[in-house]
């Protein structure tokens, strides 16, 4: 008996789930999403490459919840997770979180439609290249992951991702990370966490008994870093030390991974921000290491550059000194000119006061002359009066025998 192309189950009779619409052999869901290719098969379901016929065949991804549950109870649980994934995704908006487009049920199956991320997940990339990634790359992706985890932890209500691992982290064509699988992500407000879902090796111990918090994501970031740096699966329930597998990894990065993967949550970084700071310090160039890495040719170039810098410093000092000297001379010059002007001004003042003194003396002399003229006129008048009196009395020659008084009165 062949398996049904519609539901995959072996039966001869018409499919109990009803026939799905097909076009060129492809399934079309909701009369809109045409499934094109299989992208991945995970624990929760099957992921298809698809296109949205309502939006000019825009590429999208359809995730179908697996339907091979043995117990109805397990199926109900899985449906609840799937619905929660759709709910959580619809509330989050971040460049490193895949964007959800639709969620629906069709023929007893559950589907989630999201943006297509052009790229591959980190697990697939590593397997393909067959070797671990460079430390600088891992640090840069880890910092991006810190950003998105920080966003989720600070969300209202906070969201714990709980499933950070390389296969859930996609890398797009611009080297940006994108988290795609929110199957077990959970808002903290939903109370007691009794899901006990783990990804062996990547999940922290507390998640086995359903007590995840923000520090559980920090642990998973540590184990993810270990995998990316070494290419080895992290050992479940053990702290990870990547330097023990790849000796070229820096001590600083090794210590960050070790601390993040402490079995006791209180020994880990207590917040994503704290871990981000530690990762930033790992990303700073190590000065001693940098010099050691330089070849002898580069060292000569570096020494020449330093020498050039020093010479430029000395030259600019000399120029500055000269400029100061010139400025000093200019100051002295203007000081001298100022003194000369003050001196000339004082001289002028002195001359002016001498001139006004002369004018005053002149005025005084004029006054004196007019006073004397007045006195003389009075004297003349008096003399005339006396003369007239003398003539009248016949004594005029005795008073002014040579006519002097008459001449002097003509002069005045
Ligand atoms: N939006 C997407 N764009 C492109 N590829 C995707 C997208 N979503 C998922 N994939 C690919 O499909 C794979 C499986 O997806 P996902 O992790 O969501 O499914 P899963 O069933 O929950 O897997 P698992 O349980 O193994 O984590 C991913 O590892 C990724 O390679
Ligand atoms: Mg997954």
- What pLDDT is stored for residue 409 in this prediction? 40
**Residue 207 — pLDDT band, cuts 50, 70, 90?**
very high
Ligand 1 neighbours by CB, cut-off 6 Å = 39-40, 42-45, 47, 61, 63, 98, 114-117, 121, 124, 167-168, 170, 180-181, 183
- Between CA 263 and CA 331 the distance in angstroms is 75
Regarding predicted confidence, which is higher, 108 or 223?
Answer: 223
Q: Please check whether residues 279 and 297 belong to one and the same domain.
A: no
Q: Please check whether residues 128 and 72 belong to one and the same domain.
A: no
pLDDT in tens, 262-283: 999 999 999 999 999 999 999 9
Regarding predicted confidence, which is higher, 304 or 199?
Answer: 199
What are the C-alpha distances in Å from 167 to residues 36, 78, 195, 228, 230? 21, 20, 21, 11, 16
Q: Which atom of ligand 1 is nearest to the CA of 181?
A: 18
Q: Please give the DSSP secondary-structure letter assigned to residue 47.
A: E
Q: In the chain, what is the straight-line distance between the N-terminal and C-terminal CA atoms, in Å?
A: 167
CB-count exposure of residue 61 (10 Å: 0-12, 13-18, 19+):
buried
Choose one of 349, 369, 389: the last residue of a domain: 369
- What pLDDT is stored for residue 411 in this prediction? 41
Q: Which atom of ligand 1 is nearest to the CA of 43?
A: 25
Query: Which residue has its alpha carbon closest to ligand 1 atom 17?
Result: 181
Choose one of 232, 261, 283: the last residue of a domain: 283
How many CB atoms lie under 10 A from the CB of residue 377?
12
Q: Please check whether residues 316 and 227 belong to one and the same domain.
A: no
Domain assignment of residue 317, yes or no: yes
Regarding predicted confidence, which is higher, 383 or 292?
Answer: 383
Q: Please check whether residues 266 and 327 belong to one and the same domain.
A: no
Going by C-beta distance under 8 Å and a sequence separation of 6 or more, which residues neighbour residue 132? 126, 228, 229, 230, 231, 246
Q: Please check whether residues 229 and 110 belong to one and the same domain.
A: no
Q: Which atom of ligand 1 is nearest to the CA of 167?
A: 29
Q: Which domain holds residue 69?
A: 21-115
Domain assignment of residue 384, yes or no: no
Separation of CA 177 and ligand 2 centre (Å): 14
Ligand nearest to the CA of 122: 1
- What pLDDT is stored for residue 371 in this prediction? 86
Domain assignment of residue 250, yes or no: yes
Domain assignment of residue 402, yes or no: no
Look up residue 318 and give its two tokens.
Answer: 């000399």
Q: What is the mean pLDDT of the chain?
A: 84
Domain assignment of residue 387, yes or no: no
**Residue 407 — pLDDT band, cuts 50, 70, 90?**
very low
Separation of CA 43 and ligand 1 centre (Å): 10
Query: Which residue has its alpha carbon closest to ligand 1 atom 31?
Result: 121
Domain assignment of residue 188, yes or no: yes
Q: Please check whether residues 99 and 132 belong to one and the same domain.
A: no
Query: Which residue has its alpha carbon closest to ligand 1 atom 23?
Result: 42
- On whether the pTM is more than 0.75, the answer is no
Q: Which of 167, 171, 179 to mutate to test the pocket of ligand 1 (most atoms within 8 A of CB)?
A: 167
**Residue 215 — pLDDT band, cuts 50, 70, 90?**
very high
Asked if pLDDT for residue 17 goes beyond 70, the answer is no
- What pLDDT is stored for residue 412 in this prediction? 37
Low-confidence winner among 32-36, 93-97, 185-189 (lowest mean pLDDT)? 185-189
Separation of CA 60 and ligand 1 centre (Å): 13
Query: Which residue has its alpha carbon closest to ligand 1 atom 5?
Result: 117
Asked if pLDDT for residue 56 goes beyond 90, the answer is yes
- Report the percent of the chain where pLDDT is more than 70: 79
**Residue 406 — pLDDT band, cuts 50, 70, 90?**
very low
Average pLDDT estimate for 180-199: 72
Which CATH number belongs to the domain containing residue 76 in this structure?
Answer: 3.30.200.20
Q: Catalytic residue at 325? A: no
Q: Please check whether residues 201 and 325 belong to one and the same domain.
A: no
Q: Which helix (H) or strand (E) holds 129?
A: helix 122-129
pLDDT in tens, 348-403: 788 778 777 877 877 887 788 888 888 888 888 888 888 888 787 764 444 444 44
Domain assignment of residue 89, yes or no: yes
- Report the percent of the chain where pLDDT is more than 90: 51
Number of domains in the chain: 3
Separation of CA 306 and ligand 2 centre (Å): 52
Q: Which atom of ligand 1 is nearest to the CA of 45?
A: 21
Q: Please check whether residues 142 and 196 belong to one and the same domain.
A: yes
Q: Please check whether residues 43 and 104 belong to one and the same domain.
A: yes
Q: Please check whether residues 318 and 352 belong to one and the same domain.
A: yes
- What pLDDT is stored for residue 404 in this prediction? 45
Domain assignment of residue 400, yes or no: no
Q: Please check whether residues 140 and 272 belong to one and the same domain.
A: yes
Average pLDDT estimate for 316-321: 62
Which CATH number belongs to the domain containing residue 242 in this structure?
Answer: 1.10.510.10
Q: Please check whether residues 31 and 100 belong to one and the same domain.
A: yes
Which residue among the candidates 121, 163, 193, 254 is catalytic per the annotation?
163
Asked if pLDDT for residue 3 goes beyond 60, the answer is no
Look up residue 103 and give its two tokens.
Answer: 């969620």
- What pLDDT is stored for residue 249 in this prediction? 98
Choose one of 84, 115, 146: the last residue of a domain: 115
Separation of CA 181 and ligand 2 centre (Å): 5
Q: Is the peptide bond before 157 cis (omega within 30 degrees of 0)?
A: yes
């Amino acid at each position: 008996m062949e398996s049904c192309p519609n539901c995959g189950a072996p039966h001869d009779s018409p499919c109990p789930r009803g026939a799905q619409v097909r076009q060129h052999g492809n399934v079309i869901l909701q009369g809109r999403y045409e499934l094109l290719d299989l992208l991945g098969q995970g624990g929760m379901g099957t992921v298809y490459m698809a296109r949205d016929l309502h939006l000019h065949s825009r590429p999208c991804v359809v995730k179908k919840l697996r339907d091979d549950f043995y117990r109805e109870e397990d199926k109900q649980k899985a449906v609840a997770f799937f619905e929660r994934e759709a709910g959580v995704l619809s509330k989050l908006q971040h460049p490193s979180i895949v964007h959800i487009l639709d969620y629906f049920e069709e023929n007893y199956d559950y589907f989630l439609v999201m943006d297509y991320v052009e790229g591959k997940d980190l697990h697939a990339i590593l397997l393909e290249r067959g070797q671990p990634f460079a430390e600088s790359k891992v640090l840069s992706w880890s910092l991006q992951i810190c950003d998105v985890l920080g966003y989720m932890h600070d969300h209202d209500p906070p969201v714990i991702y709980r499933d950070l691992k390389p296969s859930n982290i996609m890398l797009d064509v611009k080297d940006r990370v994108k988290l795609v699988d929110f199957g077990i992500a959970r808002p903290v407000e939903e109370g007691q966490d009794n899901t006990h879902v783990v990804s062996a090796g990547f999940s922290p111990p507390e998640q086995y008994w359903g007590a995840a918090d923000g520090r559980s994501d920090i642990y998973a970031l540590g184990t993810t870093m270990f995998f990316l740096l070494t290419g080895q699966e992290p050992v479940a329930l053990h702290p990870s030390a990547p330097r023990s597998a790849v000796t070229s990894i820096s001590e600083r990065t090794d210590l960050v991974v070790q601390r993040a993967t402490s079995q006791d949550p209180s020994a880990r970084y207590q917040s994503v921000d704290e871990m981000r700071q530690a990762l930033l310090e790992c990303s700073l160039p190590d000065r001693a290491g940098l010099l050691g890495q330089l070849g002898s040719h580069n060292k000569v170039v570096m020494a020449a550059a330093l020498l050039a810098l020093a010479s430029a410093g000395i030259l600019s000092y000399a120029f500055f000194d000269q400029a100061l000297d010139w400025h000093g001379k200019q100051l002295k010059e203007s000081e001298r000119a100022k003194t000369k002007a003050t001196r000339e001004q004082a001289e002028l003042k002195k001359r002016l006061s001498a001139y006004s003194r002369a004018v005053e003396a002149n005025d005084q002399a004029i006054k004196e002359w007019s006073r004397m003229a007045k006195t003389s006129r009075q004297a003349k008048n008096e003399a005339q009066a006396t003369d007239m009196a003398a003539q009248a009395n016949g004594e005029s020659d005795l008073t002014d025998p040579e006519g002097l008084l008459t001449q002097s009165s003509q002069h005045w």
